[in-house]
Chain A
Amino acid sequence: MNALLARATPYLQATPLLLILGFFLAVPILLLLVVSFWDYDFAGIYPDFLTLNYAEALGSWVTWRIYANTLKYAVIVWAITALVGFWVAYFLAFHVRTATMQMVLFLICTVPFLTSNIIRMISWIPVLGRNGLINSGLTGAGIIEQPIEWLLYSDFAVVLAMVHLYTLFMVTPIFNAMMRIDKSLVEAARDAGAKDWQVIWNVVLPLAKPGIAIGTIFVVTLVMADFSTVQVMSGGQSASVALMMRNQMSLLQYPAAAANAIVLLVLVLLMVAGMLRIVDIRKEL
């Protein structure tokens, strides 16, 4: 009896996690997969095995354009957050001397996250709008005559809001990776005659790579799945994959949305797998 209990203990300990992952991850994805093969009309969905949903999703040039648009956002937002995230983390890890100050400044970075996504996004509108802070400031100062139109409801606004929303997801893992860099490595590099930029390029950047990779995974998956930012900040002029799915769902085309979701899931997983092939993140976990 005791021997049996001893053998069962590890399984019992793993059960709660298994249940949570099962209910909240495995089952929904399975359902999605099953539904993506079902049939539908304007009134309901019908169990079936059709590949039509996939054929429609992949065969339409609209889908391809929306995917291209989403990828464009992902690439631009990734590049900007990586750049900003790297320098913020570098400053925190290497230029702030005391651990207390590091924590204080890091917490300040997280302050915007005390408000909801939507509020942070919407608060850009009075800043960027046609009669917003920037435009009225610039016209008032006589720098421009006409308000700049592309500030709001444009790709610029979408990217700006996404950078604002997601930079912290880049800062945190990079900061974490940099804090693990032995400071004597930097000194050793200086001892060998490395200038500041040489230290960054030859020591800090290679050793922060796993952090950059983890941040990249966060940012890319978040941007690929984003629909509210795209909708609000582009004023409905731009589309993203998730926005397309949401529209399909509001038209009760669940199987079509499910097929799209599966395609997006596969795409994102491929991107993550590609990143993991380039950078070994295991030592960060």
Chain B
Amino acid sequence: MSKSAEIDLASVSKIYGKTTAVDSISLKIPAGSYCCLLGPSGCGKTSTLRMIAGHETVSIGDIVLGKQVVTDLPPAKRGTAMMFQSYALFPHLDLVDNVAFSLKMAGVDKPTRRARALELLKLMQMDAYADRRPGQLSGGQQQRVALARALITDPEALLLDEPLSALDPFLKIRMRAELKKLQKQLGITFVHVTHSQEEAMALADLVVVMSNGRIEQAATPREVFERPATAFVARFMGDHNVISGKVTGAGNGLVDFTVVGGGSFSATGAPLPLGADMDVAVRTDHVRIGESLQPGLGFTGIISNIEYRGATVKLTVEGAGISEFTAIHQANRETCHDRQE
């Protein structure tokens, strides 16, 4: 339907007074992909999005959209459109005028812009409400209108600032599917800011995990989950046990290390210098309960808590200097009752 643009951030920083919100990040978002900027609040993901949108000036670095350097262009000249967290619909205008707003600003005559706005409302299945005000709509409906308003300029990239955070959990999942469908249908680049790893995993082609103004990892959801680049990523994505320790040796593709509490372990990975800090992530659903097959892989501990979750059981284990080690097990009888090591 419309063209899409690659977004290229070249060591972009955002500095507010003495605090650095975004610290020299470089990122290439391929054209037509769905990119999620993921991280806890205050990690700089929203500042990054707002810099791409042009609502925040870039302190250092450049932003390239398609073939154009847009660093100093005003928002409307960039070919991007932004959807705001609270949707920012104009409360005094009906839906048609809300959607047609940017065409009105551009001086398009009334019949043309209203016809185009109705077309987009139809695309979002909101044409039946065309003469309502935003205040009379539910959250999900408001989001559809906000999408229609953002799309009326035929943007090359759509920037979404926590678009689902105002919705209830049920609606969240439905609108999530709609966003993904829309992105496929339009084929334009979506950049979506969120703090929910579940949302990012469900939507993104490219997940960018951020922390303290830096990118921790930028990869496909599968890679981020299966090969987290840092302890932060593993912790933030969840379903991982992160064990930190110091390297004591290496060999056979294994690295040996000890944790503060005293336990010694081995882990697969490239050799590291002796005494270096290292983190290991163990997927909670990849923990096997039983005798250790190889020294250094596994530990003996006490199960301190059992949480029954229907299909699975969540076990919390303490031992060998590791606390709150989580194991997720299929909920068959033997794991529940007998095997407390």
Q: Are B104 and A202 in contact (CB under 8 A)?
A: yes
Give Cα A193 to B92, complex, Å. 19
Q: Which of A179-199 contact B (CB under 8 A)?
A: 182, 184-185, 187-195, 198
Instruction: Report the minimal beta-carbon distance from A18 to chain B, rounded to whole angstroms.
Output: 34
Residue-wise, chain A 145-162 has the 8 Å CB interface mask toward B (1 for contact) of 000000000000000000
A202 proximity list for chain B (CB < 8 A): 90, 101, 104-105
Q: How far is the CA of A193 from the CA of B79 in the complex (A)?
A: 11
On chain A, the residues within 8 Å of B74 by CB distance are: 190
Report A-chain residues with C-beta under 8 Å of the C-beta of B89. 188
Interface string of B135-168 (1 = CB under 8 A from A): 0000000000000011001000000000000000
Contact of B102 among A182, A185, A193, A206 (CB under 8 A): A193
A207 in contact with B92 (CB, 8 Å): yes
**Which A residues are in CB contact (< 8 Å) with B81?**
191
B101, A192: Cβ atoms under 8 Å?
yes
Whether, in the assembled complex, A262 has its beta carbon less than 8 Å from a beta carbon of chain B, the answer is: no
| Shortest Cβ gap from B141 to chain A (Å) | 17
Query: Is residue B235 within 8 Å, beta carbon to beta carbon, of the partner chain?
Result: no
Q: State whether the Cβ of B75 lies closer than 8 Å to any Cβ in chain A.
A: yes
Report the minimum CB–CB distance from B57 to chain A (whole Å).
13
Cβ of A202 to closest chain B Cβ, rounded Å: 7
Check A252 for interface membership: any CB of B closer than 8 A. no
Residues of A within 8 A of B85 (CB): 184
Q: Does A276 contact B (CB under 8 A)?
A: no
Is A265 an interface position by the 8 A CB rule? no
Residues of B within 8 A of A192 (CB): 76, 101-102, 105, 149, 153
B234 within 8 A of A: no
A20 to B100 alpha-carbon distance, docked (Å): 51
A207's partner among B76, B77, B82, B91 (CB-CB below 8 A) is: B91
Q: Is A184 within 8 A of B92, CB to CB?
A: no
* Contact of A188 with B153 in the complex, beta carbons under 8 Å: no
**Could you tell me if A182 and B86 are in contact, using CB atoms closer than 8 angstroms?**
yes
With a cutoff of 8 Å between Cβ atoms, the chain B residues found around residue A188 in the complex are: 82, 84, 88-90, 149
Residues of B within 8 A of A191 (CB): 53-55, 75-76, 81-82, 102, 150
| B311 within 8 Å of A (CB atoms) | no
Say whether A190 contacts B55, CB under 8 Å.
yes
Contacts of A203 in B (CB 8 A): 90
Interface pairs A-B: 7 shortest CB-CB: A193-B76, A192-B102, A188-B88, A184-B88, A206-B92, A194-B105, A193-B105
Since A185-B90, A203-B90 are in contact, a sample of 5 more A-B pairs with Cβ atoms closer than 8 Å, ordered by chain A residue number, is A185-B88, A191-B76, A193-B105, A202-B104, A207-B92
Contacts from A to B (Cβ < 8 Å): 182, 184-185, 187-195, 198, 202-203, 206-207
B residues neighboring A (CB under 8 Å): 53-55, 74-77, 81-82, 84-86, 88-92, 101-102, 104-106, 149-150, 153
